[in-house]
Homo-oligomer: A and B are copies of this chain.
Amino acid sequence: MAQKPSIPKGTRDFSPEEMAKRNYIFDTIKEVFTLHGFRQIETPSMENLSTLMGKYGEEGDKLLFKILNSGDFLKGVTDEQLIERNCPRLTSSLCEKGLRYDLTVPFARYVVQHRNELQFPFKRFQIQPVWRADRPQKGRYREFYQCDADVIGTDSLLNEIDLLEIIDEVFRRFGISITIKLNNRKVLSGIAEIIGEPERITDITVAIDKIDKIGIENVNAELLEKGISQEAVKQLQPILSLSGTNEEKLESLSKLLASSETGMKGIEELKYVIGGTIAAGIDARLELDVSLARGLNYYTGTIIEVKANDVQIGSITGGGRYDNLTGVFGMEGVSGVGISFGADRIFDVLNQLDLYPSEAKNTTKLMFVNFGEKESAASLKYAKRLRKAGISCEVYPENAKMKKQMGYANDNKIPFVAIVGENELEKGTIMLKDMQKGEQQELTVDEIAAKL
């Protein structure tokens, strides 16, 4: 036999069992998005490289999968250029298109391209794969799904509350206990301001973002090393050791940031969002965390991150408010707020906690054993009747040995087997076998439809 075929590293096949679980995840997220009035769009897998390049930093440009032009792809490249072997430069001659790297840039491109057809505010969601030529490792793939919801064209903080309710409802449905961490970029700006280092906000937040991992001492050392003054680091200490309830933290912050207009605006926003979300009623723990920074240069207001309470794993959802989604495509002033569910990590959490409902484990409910032509003809009719009642079922396609047929039902985790033999055929009944309990019961097709 020829060499066994394989798939590119970092990519995955999904078996029926895995697909049932993945569908459960995507369907749940999609249903909650839809219940909240978000509307789905899809964009092409390929975008023009001119749309993608330069949007993800230099490293990101390298991680884009580029598609070789069709036909004579060397047309327009001179021999000299070829022999020079400058790969990045040659790429732009050889390739016009690349695979989507995330859903945000294609969304921004979509908004600009279709701005005359769109109504603002625009609440869109998008669930599609993205591709990155990253080095594959455990939990990191070259093809994976993102599940994004954004509201653009509105500054109202009701949108933040809406998105937090969505997060709460999605994880409530999954049965995953979560903590939603909240922060606000304006609070971070305020902190940098009051400690007298307003220009160093990036260094400061990058450092304090590491508190959970390396502890306060090391954060302080890093700040000093980066040239933040001793005095500023000292002033930072009460903020780094904020504790208590959200109300208490906000109270302390109000005093600490009193002299910063921006900081106080951030506190006001946090109060509104936290108050409104709790009033709307959520199950999740809501925790103000001033060390939360997440892609700071992108977010301008609320910052959101979700952790699972019972599993050690990174952030399983994140998001925040941004000011200028589409400026890079020449359309200014489109602000918005969005969240992104990490489907692969949620998949891992659900697996670890074994939280999948039984519907996500087996899709086919019943198999008719095949005893020959007459019996299978009757079974086909029964199957049609059951499907009308929404019951997934199949007739084993061959009159094979009983053991083989039962093995098939077993291997495919089909919970019920229906036996229509000569006897049952005469009486117009079906022997229904519960594969788990091992019990069997003689019923009519209508009784089975009602029972299952």
* Distance, CA A191 to CA B145, complexed state (A): 51
Q: Is the CB of B15 within 8 A of A114?
A: yes
Q: Is A45 an interface residue (CB 8 A)?
A: yes
Q: Is A342 an interface residue (CB 8 A)?
A: no
Interchain Cβ contacts under 8 Å between A and B, 28 examples: A2-B329, A2-B330, A4-B113, A5-B109, A6-B48, A7-B47, A7-B48, A7-B51, A8-B47, A12-B44, A19-B39, A19-B41, A36-B387, A36-B394, A37-B393, A37-B394, A45-B143, A65-B67, A66-B68, A68-B91, A74-B90, A119-B412, A121-B398, A123-B394, A158-B370, A158-B376, A276-B377, A276-B380
* Top 8 A-B residue pairs of the complex, sorted by shortest distance between their CB atoms: A37-B394, A2-B330, A16-B39, A11-B44, A156-B397, A1-B330, A19-B40, A82-B82
Q: Is A23 an interface residue (CB 8 A)?
A: yes
* Distance, CA A163 to CA B331, complexed state (A): 50
Contact with B along A62-105 (1 / 0, CB 8 A): 11011110111110000100110101001100111101000000
Min CB gap A359→B, angstroms: 11
Q: Is A314 an interface residue (CB 8 A)?
A: no
Interface of A, helix, strand, loop or mixed by DSSP: mixed
Q: Which A residues are within 8 Å of any B CB, using their own CB?
A: 1-8, 11-16, 19-20, 22-23, 34-37, 39-48, 50-51, 62-63, 65-68, 70-74, 79, 82-83, 85, 87, 90-91, 94-97, 99, 109-110, 112-114, 117, 119, 121, 123-124, 129, 131, 133, 142-143, 151, 154-156, 158-159, 161-162, 165, 169, 276, 279-281, 329-331, 363-364, 367, 370, 376-377, 380-381, 384, 387, 390-395, 397-398, 407-408, 411-412
